[in-house]
Amino acid sequence: MKQISRFSHLGELNDDDYFRIALSVDCVIFGFEDNELKVLVIKCNIKEYKGKWSLLGDLVRPDEDIEAASYRILKERTGLDDVYLEQVKTFGKPNRHPAGRVITVAYFSLVNIKNHQLKLSDNELHWHPVNDITEMAFDHKEILQSCLDQLREKIEDHPLVFNLLPRKFSLRELQCLYEAILNTRLDRRNFRKKFFVMDWLTDLNELEEDVPHRPGKLYEFNKEKFDKAIRKIGDSRKAATKTENA
């Protein structure tokens, strides 16, 4: 006789019922191209969502670590194997998958499209403008929005966005990227002033080439300056804490 774990309004549940829950990983990979924020999507091949766009995902194998699964899925579906992934949120609505109860862990990353050429093209895998996506398979639109919201929160004080740009970039390109992520227009003067105050950039004393507008100065992200600024903030917070506790 099977052990009874608990009761519910549906009747008795035994231990086997709890172990029929599957675990999956979904990856939201953002890119930036033609002044648009894009996401890597693929056509869904499950009949209930046939033809709809979906994120890159798969079930986690019984003997597989969740983080390892995220990199495996990315490698199998895109050929990419050197992309940083950040865990965002877990989604677990009972009816989110037509095959049964599937809980998924969402990851997001930002990659430079020009530096990461897709090696596979199955199921129309491609970069799709985020603003053009109105409907997706499963709850992937909700997952996409959650990752986008987290990205928007983090770019205020974290240099994630530089992963989307070439090593050398202009302030015009940087502002276009921020505007694409935030989906809003930014004041040019205030934007530039903010970055000069943060002191994250190094002036390369070079100008853009082959551009249809007046060439702008080129910069690169300076990790040493950023790390120094973070340490300074941390020291200030520690000093303030000591003062409060004195």
Is the per-residue pLDDT at 92 higher than 90?
yes
Query: Are 117 and 94 contacting, i.e. CB atoms less than 8 angstroms apart?
Result: no
Distance CA 78, CA 60 (A): 17
Please, what's the largest Cα pairwise distance for the chain?
A: 79
pLDDT of residue 55: 96
What's the average model confidence in pLDDT over 74-99? 88
C-alpha 190/C-alpha 119 separation (Å) is 40
Indicate the pLDDT class of residue 245, thresholds 50, 70 and 90. Answer: low
pLDDT of residue 19: 80
d(CA 104, CA 19): 15
Phi, psi of 136 (to 5 degrees): -140, 165
% of the chain residues with pLDDT over 70: 89
Q: Give the pLDDT band of residue 236 (cuts 50, 70, 90).
A: low
pLDDT per position as a tens digit, 105-161: 999 999 888 887 777 777 889 999 999 999 999 999 999 999 999 999 998 878 888
Q: Who contacts 35 (Cβ-Cβ below 8 Å, separation ≥6)?
A: 176, 180
Separation between Cα atoms, residue 118 and residue 126, nearest integer Å? 8
The residue among 161 and 229 whose pLDDT is bigger is: 161
Q: What is the CATH number of domain 168-245?
A: 1.10.10.10
pLDDT value, residue 238: 66
Give the integer Cα–Cα distance in Å for 240 and 21: 48
Kindly state the tokens that stand for 75.
């490698």
Question: With 60 as the cut, is the pLDDT of residue 79 above it?
Answer: yes
The pLDDT of residue 15? 74
Q: What local confidence, expressed as pLDDT, does residue 6 receive?
A: 47
Mean pLDDT confidence for 164-186: 94
∠ CA 122-23-78, nearest 5°, is 25
Same fold across 21-154 and 168-245: no
Two tokens at 124?
């129309």
Backbone φ, ψ for residue 72 (5° rounding): -65, -45
Query: Which residue, 112, 111, 95, 114, is CA-closest to 103?
Result: 95
Determine the pLDDT at residue 117: 77
Which residue ranges make up each domain of the chain?
21-154, 168-245
Quick: pLDDT tens for 192-213.
998 888 888 999 999 988 888 8
* 3-class secondary structure, 112: coil
The DSSP bridge pattern shows strands 22-33 and 102-110 to be parallel
Q: Which CATH class is domain 21-154?
A: alpha beta
Burial of 105 (0-12, 13-18, 19+ CB in 10 A): buried
Section 218-234 average pLDDT: 81
Answer yes or no: is pLDDT of 45 > 60: yes
d(CA 241, CA 246): 9
Select the more confidently predicted residue: 4 or 164.
Answer: 164
130 is written with which tokens? 């985020």
Phi-psi region of 34 (alpha: psi -120 to 50; beta: other; left: phi over 0): left
Instruction: Quote the CA–CA distance of 186 and 7 in Å, as a whole number.
Output: 55
C-beta of residue 106 within 8 angstroms of C-beta of residue 91: yes
